[in-house]
Chain A
């Protein structure tokens, strides 16, 4: 995309998520007691209130839960159209990531498509984009 992406401000609670892609792994906060995934990451489990939480690797695959093709140039220089999708993450029930589906024509994306993470590096940040699995 032409215009630079707006990037997350890293802090103690989100750093593992946004920098985890350096070794190609998607990581989500997970409760060590009841195994629930917690996203956005917080220092407490939203299911059992345990504070024993830690980042855990997931497979990095998922399913397109829903999507939209954006045509509006919200900022000068934004390359349109592009696909915004909400991806349900395999192995992490209830966790969705808003992302872009890349590497295919925008018309090719459908609900239910199997997708796989493809990180886009922006300095120390690795944005988890997704592409379709053929």
Chain B
């Protein structure tokens, strides 16, 4: 394997649930163990750790485990590590790890994202929420107007598509319907019950045009991806998945001030950095914390034109498991739980290795695209099995 390339080798995931009692560090350990086992590596061979966004005490459950803590807890001898919120969204942690192994700062890097939001919300005495009466930084520009949730900010992007391009609720519904259909086939998915169009259309509104089923749900889980240097692939027993291209951008780093969504320039950048074309992609795993983000990513990555996302997914056949571009085959965040960005890369690797079980896409998939974020921050990775 070329020494100057970066590969995803082992991937792992803990139990996925809500209100779990297993501690977040131990969920992380579960995912680490699974990833090491798949790669045939030992913890002693790990020399790097990368996470997003690092430990955050401000928001209980949002990021309960940091890189420093994992290094210390598992006795890792790290020659490189990072855990930063100021990057191009969740998969920015994988971009950083890939750069680190390509320039020789580490050989095998554990990239992880651990979430414990459902447990923290359910047990406020154990994980006390921070009470805020005043806000500063970027929050000051929207929180005083009760634009409190990312649902509100994403809804405003979606509304422009509704008004400018005629996006309908029936079209948008296909993201949630596809996610939920795929989640039924994923033993680890949070919601394993299909969703009907009638249920979708009669769901209560959260923030127009987004209804309840357009939103992901707080989840407790940990997801791990091991990023390995090309020169160290000989130590690995699983099929390496090459990171063929990566891109990440920031708009104006505020949902409030961004002119438009960061996924669009990110998608353009990605294709400038590879000879692959959108038509080479066998499956797309695209961020859907809110359904509209996945639709925007389809446009941003050039699978259809800007404004054509609604027509592209209409009826759902094209993005179904046996369609021309299977989307979010593990259920996305809407079906599989809010794994927060890392679930998309995890699933891309599972599919490229043919290990999807009941949800494995047909044929011999060799190229997958995955993406996180999409609003003011966006990251896209193109993965290939050579």
Seen from chain A, the residues whose Cβ lies within 8 Å of a Cβ on chain B are 1, 5-9, 11, 14, 39-40, 65-72, 74-75, 78, 82, 84-86, 94, 96-100, 110-111, 127, 129
Contacts and interface: CB of A to CB of B under 8 A. Distances in A.
B149 interface: yes
A6 B156 contact: no
Given A7-B135, A8-B140, A74 B159 contact: no
A127 B144 contact: yes
Contact of B206 (A5, A71, A127, A129): A71
Given A8-B135, A96-B256, A127 B160 contact: no
A72 B155 CA distance: 12
Given A6-B133, A68-B156, 9 more contacts: A1-B146, A5-B146, A40-B141, A69-B207, A70-B146, A70-B155, A74-B149, A84-B146, A84-B156
Contacts of B206: 70-72
A96 B157 CA distance: 14
B115 to A, nearest CB: 20
Contact of B207 (A70, A127, A129): A70
Contacts of B136: 8-9, 11
Shortest 10 CB-CB contacts between residues of A and residues of B: A68-B155, A8-B140, A9-B134, A98-B142, A66-B156, A69-B208, A9-B136, A71-B205, A74-B148, A84-B147
State the majority secondary structure of interface residues on A: strand
Residue among A6, A40, A97, A129 having the largest count of chain B Cβ atoms under 10 Å: A6
Interface of B: 132-136, 138, 140-149, 151-152, 155-160, 163-164, 204-210, 254, 256-257, 259
Contacts of B143: 6
A118 to B, nearest CB: 13
B145 A66 contact: no
A85 B208 CA distance: 12
A68 B210 CA distance: 9
Contact of A96 (B149, B160, B257): B257
A14 B140 contact: yes
A7 B207 contact: no
B260 to A, nearest CB: 11
A97 to B, nearest CB: 8
Nearest to A70: B207
A9 B156 contact: no
A129 B209 CA distance: 22
A71 B204 contact: yes
A71 B208 CA distance: 8
Nearest to B147: A84
A67 B159 contact: yes
B259 A6 contact: no
Given A14-B140, A74-B148, A40 B257 contact: yes
Given A7-B133, A69-B208, A71-B207, A98 B145 contact: yes
A66 B207 CA distance: 13
Contacts of B132: 6
A6 B135 contact: yes
Contacts of A8: 134-136, 140, 144
A72 B160 contact: no
Contacts of B149: 72, 74
A82 B188 CA distance: 37
Contact of B257 (A1, A39, A75, A129): A39
A96 B257 CA distance: 6
Contacts of A129: 145
A114 to B, nearest CB: 16
Contacts of A6: 132-135, 143-144, 148
Contacts of B163: 66, 110-111
Contacts of A70: 146-147, 152, 155, 206-208
Contacts of A78: 146
Contacts of A1: 146
Interface hub of A67, A70, A96, A111 (most chain B Cβ within 10 A): A70
Q: Which of B149, B156, B209, B256 has the most CB of A within 10 A?
A: B156
A66 B138 CA distance: 19
B145 A68 contact: no
Contacts of A72: 149, 151, 206-207
Contact of A94 (B135, B155, B259): B259
A75 B148 contact: yes
B152 A84 contact: yes
A15 to B, nearest CB: 12
Nearest to B206: A72
Nearest to A127: B144
Contact of B144 (A7, A39, A96): A7
